[in-house]
Amino acid sequence: MMNARWDYGDGVRLTRNVRNDGTYPGLDPGDFLVRRGSIGYVVDVGTFLQDQIIYSVNFLDEGKVVGCREEELIGVDDPWTPSKFEFREKVRSAKGLSVNGEVLVALGAVGEVIKVIRDAPGGVAYHVHFDSLAGRVLQIPEAALEALEAKE
């Protein structure tokens, strides 16, 4: 069996929001389960398709036991920087964004977060693909983005 990073009773923190993939009883697929940053405790370690370790994590505050992949978890004592947005979330530019004086992204342009960079100099930043800038990904500081719903 693969080497599991955590064992029964270990405290872990969720690094991204988890939604129901269809395996959580009583809720529809896609329904929200547990928010990123939540702390839980490993109650079981198993595998999926023989190549992924799945941890059953009891999130006591939420009253839910949820299956999590290893890449969705960090140790409870590992450094954690909360972020405003997360992977796959739609965002809007809060200002015009330029590189070397050339405006690449207009104010209000819609994009999608491709990666969250929690340890970027100056605070949390994101790799964002803007609809108006096909094929390019820019690293954008958190302060230059706002939630898509904010102006709708």
Strand partners, 125: 117, 141
Least Cα distance to 113 among 92, 94, 87, 93 occurs for: 87
Query: Could you say which of 75, 101, 122 is where a domain stops?
Result: 75
Identify the DSSP state of 101.
Answer: T
In this structure, are 33 and 70 located in the same domain?
yes
Do residues 14 and 40 lie in contact, with contact meaning Cβ atoms separated by under 8 Å?
yes
How many domains are contained in the chain?
2
pLDDT in tens, 30-83: 888 998 899 999 999 988 777 788 999 999 999 999 999 888 899 999 888 788
In this structure, are 104 and 145 located in the same domain?
yes
Residue 149 pLDDT grade (very low, low, confident, very high; cuts 50, 70, 90): confident
> What is this structure's pTM?
0.63
CATH code for position 41: 2.30.30
* CA–CA separation, 87 and 113 (whole Å): 5
In this structure, are 107 and 68 located in the same domain?
no
In this structure, are 103 and 62 located in the same domain?
no
Domain presence at residue 18: yes
In this structure, are 121 and 96 located in the same domain?
yes
The parent domain of residue 127 ranges over: 90-151
CA 152 to chain centre: 23
In this structure, are 107 and 146 located in the same domain?
yes
Domain presence at residue 85: no
Domain presence at residue 82: no
Residue with tokens 């395996």: 23
Domain presence at residue 145: yes
Q: What is the pLDDT of residue 40?
A: 97
In this structure, are 100 and 139 located in the same domain?
yes
